[in-house]
Every structure is written in C-alpha cells, then in structure tokens.
Amino acid sequence: MGLHNAIGMTETETTLEQQISWHLSGNHYPPIPQVMVPVCIQAIDALKDGDANREIPMPFDGVDSNGEPFQVTWRGQITAPAWAIAEHAHLDAWLMISDGDLYWDENDDE
C-alpha cells in the first residue's frame, strides 16, 4: 500500500520536498525524521545520475544529552551511499524508469 501511495504522490502538483516529507512521515512507522528529506532528495538525484555509490552526508538531528549536536550515522559512518538511503527510505516511487524498473539494480550495490 505504501508504494501505491508514494506513486500517487509523485503524480501530484506538490514539490518533491513535500512528497518526500509526506512519504517519510506517512509511509513509515515509526516515521523517518524530517531532517532526512534533503538527504533523500540528494540520493534520488545521485541515482538518477547513475551514481548509486555516491556518498551522501548524514545530517545533524537535534542535540544529545550533553547539549551537543547529534550526528545521524549509517553503519557508524557520517555518510551513506545513495543506494542505501533509497533502500532504507523506500524511494522506489521516485526512481522508476518504466514498468517498475529502477534507475539502479538494488542487488549490485551492497
């Protein structure tokens, strides 16, 4: 159901930022934090450019118990490859070429 909702969202007049924002909060439980919207858009751009392994910087998300900025990480790293972001956030609806084919082969990039 989430994929169908996301595909429907891509066909609206809303901006990509609004679409991703809705998708992260409405199609995930628990919701993926909104701080990830720009990260997802960068991942979509990288995958459409054919660069599935492009490293995307992870954002800061609030502060920790010591009042220090909290760094989002992926497998302990402060960057993540575009394919991993797309996979984790289920961004297929924005990466379809036609007939369900994606801009990248999910199995080749891990």
CB 35 within 8 A of CB 59: yes
Which sequence spans correspond to the domains of the chain? Answer: 2-94
Q: What is the 3-state secondary structure (H, E, C) of 87-110?
A: HHHCCHHHCECCCCCECCCCCCCC
Q: What is the pLDDT of residue 100?
A: 60
69 DSSP β-pair partners? 63
Q: What is the pLDDT of residue 1?
A: 46
Q: What is the pLDDT of residue 33?
A: 92
Cα distances (Å, whole numbers) of residue 5 to 23, 48, 53, 54: 8, 21, 27, 27
pLDDT in tens, the chain (110 residues): 466 566 666 777 899 999 999 999 998 999 999 999 999 999 999 999 999 999 999 999 878 888 888 899 999 999 999 999 999 999 999 998 766 665 656 555 54
Look at the chain and count its residues. 110
Q: Smallest Cα–Cα separation from 78: which of 88, 66, 70, 87?
A: 70
Q: What is the pLDDT of residue 68?
A: 86
